[in-house]
């Protein structure tokens, strides 16, 4: 259980992540706002509590890893990383500007703290499996986290990796499925109905939890539980709202959208209220 | 150091797969980070040695199952933590099936992995057209930072594998499993990115790779009997191609013929033309597969049917020389 004080701290961290994500995208005028907002609370729990990291040494050998397979959620991670001190806050104003270190999709060669390059959907979990396996082979106890989008789960490679992770008993791997129910062209149920993620992962012999992806305490507890389970990989299905906490995104189809100055200011006012 | 050719070219008694197995066993013993990843074709390249490798180095050989895309991704993750993975499957299942993973997860992300694609081109023989890649080089050659090497014989394979353990980047090793013609003396060393002049000549240059190197030498012998003296270059590194050597050969011999076990579109022949068109545009003839699919058959039949023969190379040299 999170203490009340820690929960307050993480709630504030999540608010800051949202503010700085909306600012990045708002200043640029367009971006993947919806899927950034849906994982903002998860990022707060990870970078505010559970994910071992050192902003002064992004390559620290003892760190936990985050492979964000839905690479278009980069801006939300950049906000978390900047707030934690991986790079100056001013960098956030360079999102998608020529020569930036903060491209729309995660790039480990450009951004301090980004552990893996992702963008062509469906590839992150395989890489996370390799990272997890290497740590196990080296006798290390680092936890390897991966975030997969629900639309992204339609890519077949994910399920190759699901088989592999179970077969290799990658107990240090924790996968979050961001079940925000929407993809670019419509609702996931209209395009490629996935039914129950929990049932799917269970059938592949994964440990599974289903939690509200905006409940900080529930996510915290689910991560602790997953860490305590050895010998099998864990999937934590996050039931989320695409665009959560962002006024203009919540009233729009928000996977990727144009964002006006007025939109940005309205959303920031609401978050600052 | 360097390479020395044999006096007389003969077929090797063992396949490159045997050389691969024995060399990898040694390299895995020397460096516990060296890993072999398979996509359920392990016995095809390791043979009876599969079990021996698994038992000797249990944390270094993994069968991913029939999932090439995942295998490449896993390798990229392993390499990010310092492991030295070699991923093997048949070459079409790497270059075609895992193409985007090779681009994004490996090349774009700056991974250090080695892709071992076996049975290129006609070497797929009785597996037929579905398994017979004449497009694998073309499919990955435009990926920035990717290196393509095609070992000619066992001596070269040993040396390339030794180098690949320490080199950083993404390497595509396009190799046969079957016995090859022995071109180089054992213990020869090679510089990746530098072609090997294995026969001197002044009338034309034959630039060949892999299976076609021995045929190029045979073609040079045929031409010599007719008074034409062809230089033969083993261009085992298809990317980055040795533009300096190609340009020198074009200047000195005035005509170039390429010979490859691949489509003439996008492979060695294309790479040679890309260089010479800007440095020394001499007549070039490309011997290779003329933009068609493969089919089932013995290698000799396929080579004859597809025009991958010493005679075809010799005829191409005559055409190139006539165009001077």
- Domain ranges across chain A: 4-272
Q: What is the pLDDT of residue A176?
A: 98
Nearest chain A residue to B97 by CA: give it.
A157
Pick from A109, A130, A167: CB nearest B73: A130
Q: What is the pLDDT of residue A167?
A: 98
Q: Do A164 and B78 touch (CB under 8 A)?
A: no
Strand partners, B61: B36
B59 in contact with A, Cβ within 8 Å:
yes
Residue B188 lies in a domain: no
Q: Do B70 and A161 touch (CB under 8 A)?
A: yes
Helix (H) or strand (E) holding A36: helix A33-38
Residue B7 lies in a domain: no
Radius of gyration of chain B (CA): 19
> Can you read off the two tokens belonging to residue A250?
């919540």
Distance of alpha carbon A74 from alpha carbon B266, whole angstroms: 35
Distance of alpha carbon A173 from alpha carbon A128, whole angstroms: 8
Strand partners, A182: A187
Distance of alpha carbon A68 from alpha carbon A114, whole angstroms: 9
How many Cβ atoms from other residues are within 10 Å of residue B127's Cβ? 14
Q: Rounded to whole angstroms, what are the CA distances from A4 to A12, A40, A220?
A: 12, 19, 13
Distance of alpha carbon B64 from alpha carbon B41, whole angstroms: 10
Say how many Å lie between the first and final Cα of chain B, rounded.
37
- In this structure, CATH architecture of domain A4-272: 3-Layer(aba) Sandwich (3.40)
The domain that holds B67 is classified in CATH as: 3.40.50.970
Nearest chain B residue to A158 by CA: give it.
B70
B109 in contact with A, Cβ within 8 Å:
yes
Residue B120 lies in a domain: yes
Q: Do A116 and B69 touch (CB under 8 A)?
A: no
- What is chain B's mean pLDDT, rounded? 98
Give chain A's length: 273
Pick from A109, A126, A167: CB nearest B73: A126
Residue B189 lies in a domain: no
Residue B18 lies in a domain: yes
Together in a domain, B39 and B118: yes
B163 cis-preceded (ω within 30 degrees of 0): no
> Can you read off the two tokens belonging to residue B259?
């010979």
Say how many Å lie between the first and final Cα of chain A, rounded.
28
The domain that holds B290 is classified in CATH as: 3.40.50.920
Together in a domain, B220 and B300: yes
Mapped onto helix, strand or coil, the DSSP state of residue A208 is: strand
Pairing status of strand A234-239 against strand A207-212 = parallel
* Nearest CA distance, A159 vs chain B (angstrom): 9
Q: Do A127 and B59 touch (CB under 8 A)?
A: no
Pick from B72, B73, B109: CB nearest A108: B109
Asked if residue A86 lies in contact with residue A112, where contact means CB atoms within 8 angstroms, the answer is yes
The closest alpha carbon to B90, from B23, B38, B54, belongs to B38
Together in a domain, B217 and B314: yes
Together in a domain, B66 and B122: yes
Domain around B91: 14-183
Residues near B142 by Cβ (< 8 Å), separated by ≥ 6? none
Asked if residue B34 lies in contact with residue B24, where contact means CB atoms within 8 angstroms, the answer is yes
Together in a domain, B169 and B217: no
A-chain residues near B110 (CB < 8 A): 108-109, 117
Residue B2 lies in a domain: no
Asked if residue A73 lies in contact with residue A31, where contact means CB atoms within 8 angstroms, the answer is no
Q: What is the dihedral of CA A119, A120, A125, A131, to 10 degrees?
A: -60
Distance of alpha carbon B215 from alpha carbon B304, whole angstroms: 12
How many Cβ atoms from other residues are within 10 Å of residue A268's Cβ? 18
Place of tokens 């013929």: B257
Together in a domain, B118 and B261: no
Asked if residue B95 lies in contact with residue B140, where contact means CB atoms within 8 angstroms, the answer is yes
**Residues in chain A with pLDDT values less than 70:** none
Q: What is the pLDDT of residue A1?
A: 86
The residue from B122, B152, B183 where one domain ends is: B183
Together in a domain, B166 and B41: yes
B64 in contact with A, Cβ within 8 Å:
yes
Together in a domain, B238 and B152: no
Q: Do A130 and B67 touch (CB under 8 A)?
A: no
Together in a domain, B177 and B223: no
Q: Which residues of B are catalytic?
A: 68
Together in a domain, B164 and B203: no
Q: Do A126 and B82 touch (CB under 8 A)?
A: no
Residue B6 lies in a domain: no
In this predicted model, what pLDDT tens digit does every residue of A86-104 receive, in sequence order? 999 999 999 999 999 999 9
Distance of alpha carbon A207 from alpha carbon A205, whole angstroms: 7
Q: Do B74 and A127 touch (CB under 8 A)?
A: yes
Together in a domain, B164 and B274: no
Q: What is the pLDDT of residue A264?
A: 98
Mapped onto helix, strand or coil, the DSSP state of residue A32 is: coil
The residue from B183, B216, B246 where one domain ends is: B183
Distance of alpha carbon B169 from alpha carbon A82, whole angstroms: 30
Q: What is the pLDDT of residue B1?
A: 78
Q: What is the pLDDT of residue A127?
A: 98
Give chain B's length: 324
> Can you read off the two tokens belonging to residue A183?
């993809």
ipTM value, please give it.
0.96
Asked if residue B206 lies in contact with residue B250, where contact means CB atoms within 8 angstroms, the answer is no
Together in a domain, B42 and B67: yes
B65 in contact with A, Cβ within 8 Å:
yes
B-chain residues near A67 (CB < 8 A): 77
**Residues in chain B with pLDDT values less than 50:** none
A:99-138 residues touching chain B, CB 8 A cutoff: 107-109, 115-120, 123, 125-135, 137-138
The closest alpha carbon to A218, from A242, A196, A240, belongs to A240
B-chain residues near A143 (CB < 8 A): none
Long-range (24+ apart) CB contacts under 8 A made by A253-256 are A253/A182, A254/A33, A254/A34, A254/A37, A254/A182, A255/A32, A255/A34, A255/A35, A255/A182, A255/A183, A255/A184, A256/A30, A256/A31, A256/A32, A256/A33, A256/A34, A256/A72, A256/A184
Asked if residue B269 lies in contact with residue B235, where contact means CB atoms within 8 angstroms, the answer is no
B34 in contact with A, Cβ within 8 Å:
no
Asked if residue A153 lies in contact with residue A177, where contact means CB atoms within 8 angstroms, the answer is yes
The residue from B183, B206, B235 where one domain ends is: B183
Residue B190 lies in a domain: no
Q: Rounded to whole angstroms, what are the CA distances from B99 to A120, A175, B69, B127?
A: 12, 25, 8, 21
The total domain count for chain B is 2
Mapped onto helix, strand or coil, the DSSP state of residue B82 is: coil
A-chain residues near B109 (CB < 8 A): 107-109, 116-117, 127
At A185, give phi and psi (nearest 5°): -90, 0
Distance of alpha carbon A11 from alpha carbon A82, whole angstroms: 17
């Amino acid at each position: 259980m999170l203490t009340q004080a820690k929960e307050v701290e993480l709630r504030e961290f999540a608010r800051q992540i949202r503010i700085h994500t909306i600012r990045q995208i708002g200043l640029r005028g367009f971006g993947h706002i919806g899927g950034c907002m849906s994982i903002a609370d998860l990022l707060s729990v990870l970078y505010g509590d559970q994910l071992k990291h050192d902003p002064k040494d992004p390559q620290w050998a003892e760190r936990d890893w985050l492979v964000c397979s839905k690479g278009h959620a980069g801006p939300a991670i950049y906000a978390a990383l900047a707030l934690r001190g991986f790079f100056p806050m001013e960098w956030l104003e360079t999102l998608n500007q020529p020569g930036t270190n903060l491209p729309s999709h995660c790039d480990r060669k450009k951004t301090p703290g980004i552990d893996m390059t992702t963008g062509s959907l469906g590839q992150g979990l395989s890489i996370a499996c390799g990272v997890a396996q290497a740590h196990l082979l080296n006798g290390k106890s680092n936890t390897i986290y991966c975030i997969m989008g629900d639309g992204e789960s339609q890519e077949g490679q994910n399920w190759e990796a699901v088989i592999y992770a179970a077969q290799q008993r990658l107990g240090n791997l924790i996968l979050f499925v961001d079940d925000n129910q929407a993809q670019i062209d419509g609702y996931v149920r209209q395009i490629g109905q996935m039914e129950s993620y929990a049932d799917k992962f269970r059938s592949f012999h994964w440990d599974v939890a289903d939690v509200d992806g905006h409940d900080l305490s529930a996510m915290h507890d689910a991560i602790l539980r997953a860490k305590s389970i050895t010998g099998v990989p864990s999937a934590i299905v996050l039931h989320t709202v695409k665009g959560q906490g962002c006024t203009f995104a919540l009233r729009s189809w928000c996977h990727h959208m144009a964002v006006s100055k007025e939109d940005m200011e309205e959303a920031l006012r609401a978050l600052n209220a | 150091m360097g390479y020395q050719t044999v006096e007389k070219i003969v077929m090797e008694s063992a396949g490159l797969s045997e050389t691969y197995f024995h060399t990898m066993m040694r390299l895995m013993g020397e460096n516990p980070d060296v890993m072999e990843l398979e996509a359920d074709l392990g016995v095809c390249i390791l043979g009876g040695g599969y079990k021996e490798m698994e038992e000797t180095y249990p944390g270094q050989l993994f069968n991913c199952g029939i999932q090439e895309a995942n295998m490449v991704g896993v390798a990229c993750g392993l390499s990010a933590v310092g492991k030295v993975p070699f991923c093997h499957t048949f070459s079409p299942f790497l270059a075609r099936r895992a193409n985007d993973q090779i681009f994004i997860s490996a090349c774009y992300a700056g991974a250090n992995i080695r892709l071992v694609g076996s049975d290129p081109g006609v070497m797929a023989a009785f597996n037929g057209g579905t398994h017979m890649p004449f497009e694998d080089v073309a499919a990955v050659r435009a990926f920035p930072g990717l290196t393509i090497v095609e070992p000619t014989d066992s001596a070269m394979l040993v040396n390339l594998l030794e180098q690949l353990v320490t080199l950083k980047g993404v390497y595509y090793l396009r190799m046969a499993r079957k016995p090859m013609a022995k071109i180089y003396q054992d213990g020869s060393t090679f510089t990746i990115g530098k072609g090997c002049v294995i026969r001197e000549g002044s009338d034309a240059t034959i630039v060949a790779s892999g299976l076609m190197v021995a045929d190029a030498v045979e073609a040079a012998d045929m031409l010599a009997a007719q008074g034409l003296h062809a230089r033969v270059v083993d261009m085992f590194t298809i990317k980055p191609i040795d533009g300096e050597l190609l340009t020198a050969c074009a200047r000195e011999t005035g005509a170039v013929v390429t010979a490859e076990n691949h489509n003439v579109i996008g492979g060695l022949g294309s790479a040679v033309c890309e260089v010479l068109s800007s440095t020394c545009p001499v007549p070039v003839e490309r011997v290779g597969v003329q933009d068609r699919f493969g089919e089932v058959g013995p290698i000799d039949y396929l080579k004859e049917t597809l025009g991958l023969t010493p005679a075809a190379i010799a005829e191409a040299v005559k055409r190139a020389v006539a165009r001077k």
